[in-house]
Structure 1
Amino acid sequence: MIKTITFAAMHFTVAFSVAYLITGDVLVGGLVAMVEPAINTVAYYFHEKFWQRFSQADRQQLADTMMGLAESQALR
C-alpha cells in the first residue's frame, strides 16, 4: 500500500504542474490534480492486484503475445 500512496503523491504533483502550466489557473490545476490521479491510482491498485494473479509463465506468455502483435504491426 505504501507504493500506491507514494505513486499517488507523485501523480498529484505531476498532474497539478501540467494542468497549471497549460491553463495558468490554480483552481483548474487543483481540480485536475485531485480527480485524474485519484481515479488513476485506484485503477493502478486494481491493475497490480489483477497482475499478481498471473503466474510467471502466464506473464511471459502474455509478454510474448504482446511482442508478437507489436512486431506484426511494425511490419505493416
Structure 2
Amino acid sequence: MIIAAKKVSQVATHMGIAFSLMYMVTGSVAFGGLAAIIEPIINVALLPLHEGFWHRVRSRSMRNATTLLAAEKVSQTLFHFLVAVAVMYWATGSLVLGGLVAVLEPVLNVIALPYHDRAWARLEERLAANARLAAAA
C-alpha cells in the first residue's frame, strides 16, 4: 500500500511541477492542465513504439550491447524532449516558450523529486519502527 501511495505522490508531484510551470508561462489554468496531462499521455502512448524499435535493433546485434543501450537512452531522452516541446509549442504558440518549458520541467523534477523521496523514506522508516514496536509489545 505504501509503495502505491508513494508512486501516486511521485506522479502528482511531477504533474504539479508541469502544471505550475506552464501556468506561470501562459497564465492559463487550461494550458497548465494540458501540459500536465497531454504530454505524459502522448509519451506513454508512443514509448512502446520506441522501445519496440530498440528491441529489434538490439536483437540484431549484441556485439555493442553497452553502446546500443546508451544510444537507446539518449534517443529516449530526445524523444521525451521533442514530445514536450511539441505539446508546449502547441499550447503556447511559441517555440521559445515551448522549448523553455520542456527544458525547465525536467530540471525542476530533478531538483524536487529527491526531497520528495527523502520525505517518503523518513515516513517508511517511522512506519517500520512503529511496526517493530507493536510486534515487540
Please classify the TM superposition score into its range, dividing by the shorter chain length.
0.3 to 0.5
Q: TM-score, normalised by structure 2?
A: 0.31
Give the structure-1-normalised TM-score.
0.47
Query: Who wins on radius of gyration, i.e. which is larger?
Result: 2
